[in-house]
Structure 1
Amino acid sequence: MLKRADEGPRKRIGPFPEPLAALPDLSWRMLHGLRQSMPRVLLPAPHSVAPPLGRMGALEVRLATTQREVKKAQRLRYKVFYEEMSAIADIQAQVSRRDRDAFDAICDHLLVLDHDTITRSGEPAIVGTYRLLRQDVAERYSGFYTANEFDLAPLLERHRGLRFLELGRSCVLAPYRSKRTVELLWHGIWSYVLSHRIDVMIGCASLEGTDPERLALPLAFLHHNARAPEEWRVGALPARRVAMDRLPAEAINSKAALQAMPPLMKGYLRIGAFVGDGAVVDRQFGTTDVMIVLPVSAINARYVNHYGAEATRYAA
């Protein structure tokens, strides 16, 4: 899986180290046996604190457990998406100075905290966040956020026995956009994937800009080199679909195409993710979105080894 963990807006996953050949049949059962999934954190008592999922020096990653922490994550998202990037705020967002929607109430919120930076309330500053929505929760309420742009129903129907997790609304404060912070976020995600026995991560990745013609090179590269096989393919909603095959394969300069992509999107490709069929222009956030599908079975073996099959590399 959620826009960017390392350089700005929302709904995305994050970069990993260098690639290795994919391990063809890697599943959560093979990785860590029949572990019992942890109960979902439902934002309980006002002063409760979730156990850390990982730690690197002063930085800690854990889930939010209070509405106060969720509001702080929403303020962080507003600062990045609306004040720094090109998202267009509605009146509600302008008044509250928070990026929020109805999905926040049913999602888990992953936080990165800096214990060397203490706020006026005496708490460590929240410097990064990721929004996580499990399929079982989505199905009890209004579905997945990405269903507003992509037709998820056929994918979910083809894989009815698998557990899906949507990653989104990811951002990190500018001074913290480093490999170190992104790795810690991903350690938290990997811990969450293991504890909830997730089989597939989904989400959107964004190219900056709303003119598909100006994005023809990276879109065409993704179409010809990363499009999901039929088993994992997801199409953009017909009314919003923008073609990605804007250039023939032989006309693509791969090096230039990769340079035109945000690090987050390249990270998806390195780890083994697939891209859906068709893109969607998101004018509110000033981006052109592609669908990312990342089966746990397709994750490159090196990344599993890097974070540990039991998510022990940065364990607190």
Structure 2
Amino acid sequence: MLQIDSARERRAQRNLSVTLAACESEVLAAQQLRWRVFADELGARLDSPVHGADIDRFDAHCKHLIVRDDDNGRIVGCYRILPPEAARRTGGYYSETEFDLGRLDHLRSQMVEIGRSCIDADYRNNAAVIALLWSGLARYMLDGGHQYLIGCASIGLADGGHNAAAIWAGLSAHMAPAEYRVFPKVRLPLERLTPNASSVLPPLVKGYIRAGAEVCGEPAWDPDFNTADLPLLLTMAKLDARYARHFVQRAA
């Protein structure tokens, strides 16, 4: 089990801490944060059994990494983590609702999936929140001995997809080898899009790439979230040295 010393993970500018959700009320608070961000702010259509909370069939099998503002008890950032043993129980990874992951089958025993990353609007200018989430993920991977991290990084399609097409065009240097390629079930029609002259890379995508993640294939179109989802794979052994120093060594 992940043990995070919250005191070591605090930040001076705000009294923040990171940990795994330890009870149902903390999980629910993370799911409510996800609803506020994805549904209320971004207009996603969420098929959830509880209005006001983003809940799907994977949640019960996931660990929920949360950042809390300890001054007011508010959960201000979250990730959900699906470890390999839980993925077996639930019949696969969330990514498999969007991609054929067949070429990654040999990695499954050591492959953790992350997703549903979000930060409260009032805290998005505070770099400490994403730093805490990354250090919490690093510790989780180290404690579990997991070697591979997969996930989908989303790019908004409010402009019709042209920014997503430009981002895709600029990622050729970061493609995974052919043996790690995955294939979208509903691909974004890149051939119909004109890449913007200047693309705006979402911070989450930028963070993954800087850490050393590789893009495993073309983006899928998620109509419920109205996003282009990029499949990413981060091999812990290839983690960028700067990130290793900043996050992994801090998490050890």
Q: What TM-score does the superposition give when structure 1 sets the normalisation length?
A: 0.71
Q: Alignment partner for residue 175 of structure 1, among 87, 104, 122?
A: 122
- Residues 1:100 and 2:55 aligned together: yes
- Residues 1:69 and 2:26 aligned together: yes
Inter-CA distance 284–61: structure 2 relative to 1 (3 Å threshold): same
Aligned to 1:17: none
- Residues 1:268 and 2:208 aligned together: yes
Q: Quick one: higher RCO (CA 8 Å, sep 6+), 1 or 2?
A: 1
Aligned to 1:155: 104
Question: SS in structure 1 opposite 2:249?
Answer: coil
Q: Give the whole-Å Cα distance in 2 for the aligned partners of 1:63 and 1:228.
A: 30
Inter-CA distance 136–130: structure 2 relative to 1 (3 Å threshold): same
Q: CA deviation digits over 1:25-69, x for unaligned, max 9?
A: xxxxxxxxxxxxx3x79xxxxxxxx86383324100000111111
Given that 2:58 and 2:90 are in contact with CA atoms closer than 8 Å, whether structure 1 keeps it comes out as no
Inter-CA distance 191–221: structure 2 relative to 1 (3 Å threshold): same
Q: Alignment partner for residue 146 of structure 2, among 174, 177, 198?
A: 198
Question: SS in structure 2 opposite 1:242?
Answer: coil
Unmatched tracts of structure 2, length 5 or more: none
Given that 1:205 and 1:291 are in contact with CA atoms closer than 8 Å, whether structure 2 keeps it comes out as yes
Structure 1 or 2: more helix by fraction:
2
Residue identity matched to 2:24: Q
Measured after TM superposition, the shift of residue 174 of structure 1 is 1.1
Task: Look at both structures and tell me which one has the larger radius of gyration over its CA atoms.
Answer: 1
Inter-CA distance 219–79: structure 2 relative to 1 (3 Å threshold): same
Aligned to 1:292: 232
Inter-CA distance 75–252: structure 2 relative to 1 (3 Å threshold): closer
Given that 2:35 and 2:52 are in contact with CA atoms closer than 8 Å, whether structure 1 keeps it comes out as yes
Question: SS in structure 2 opposite 1:305?
Answer: helix
Q: Give the whole-Å Cα distance in 1 for the aligned partners of 2:196 and 2:39.
A: 33
Q: Give the whole-Å Cα distance in 2 for the aligned partners of 1:235 and 1:268.
A: 20
Unmatched tracts of structure 1, length 5 or more: 1-37, 42-49, 118-123
Question: SS in structure 2 opposite 1:82?
Answer: helix
Kindly, what percent of the aligned residue pairs are identical? 38
Given that 2:82 and 2:93 are in contact with CA atoms closer than 8 Å, whether structure 1 keeps it comes out as yes
Q: What is the total number of aligned residue pairs between the two structures?
A: 247
